[in-house]
A and B are shown apart, each in its own frame.
Chain A
Amino acid sequence: AQTVTQSQPEMSVQEAETVTLSCTYDTSENNYYLFWYKQPPSRQMILVIRQEAYKQQNATENRFSVNFQKAAKSFSLKISDSQLGDTAMYFCAFMKPSYSGTYKYIFGTGTRLKVLA
């Protein structure tokens, strides 16, 4: 079974600095998808970035980028130029393509990030 591990329960970063959130996963699949979701205090789950395992190029979305290391099964999120609005819980999620009825995301336990003024 697939598992997703986020080993950093809490982190903090100064405004305008860069921070990296770690995520590791365990799977025997070769093709799969990885996601980072952001959950601010409003509780809304917001998609930050998506990575397809068969693509070697790391996904980037404005100030958010990932470091995808397939062999190491690592999928870290880098936030550059941190802003106060980045304060949130960040969840890493794994999904394998489904050819049948079963289809689900496996979520990590989350990392609470606080951006300090």
Chain B
Amino acid sequence: DAGVIQSPRHEVTEMGQEVTLRCKPISGHNSLFWYRQTMMRGLELLIYFNNNVPIDDSGMPEDRFSAKMPNASFSTLKIQPSEPRDSAVYFCASSFSTGVPRTDTQYFGPGTRLTVL
């Protein structure tokens, strides 16, 4: 089975440009998570979706960041305008939740390394 798929794997852009990161979760999974990894702050949860609905976006750093999940097999994380401090590795993860309480295991994609010059 294919795991979580992320694209692109690497992105280099200039400050002020719009960046869109893409994620395809594991087929059948109903939850999707976006994380950011930096040396300074480690792994941070930005937002997660359950059944395509955003549940917790308290980790989204500011209004420049937005995430969508138009259907069960696709999600995007957009940064507009991008800034050098957004440089990081962005991970997407998915899981299958059977209800409450939630105890599902998250499976991660390979990440997108974003560099903003």
Contacts and interface: CB of A to CB of B under 8 A. Distances in A.
Given A45-B91, A45-B93, A109-B42, A104 B102 contact: no
Contact of A97 (B55, B102, B111, B113): B102
B105 A44 contact: no
A93 B93 CA distance: 14
B100 A44 contact: no
Interface residues on A, range: 20 to 34
Nearest to A95: B103
Given A98-B100, A103-B102, A37 B110 contact: no
Interface in B23-39: none
A105 B45 CA distance: 8
A102 interface: yes
Contact of B43 (A42, A91, A98): A91
Interface of A: 33, 35, 37, 42-47, 50, 52, 91, 95, 97-105, 107-110
Interface of B: 42-43, 45, 48, 50, 55-56, 89, 91, 93, 100-103, 105-111, 113
Given A47-B107, A101-B56, A103-B48, 7 more contacts: A33-B103, A43-B110, A45-B91, A45-B93, A47-B105, A97-B103, A103-B56
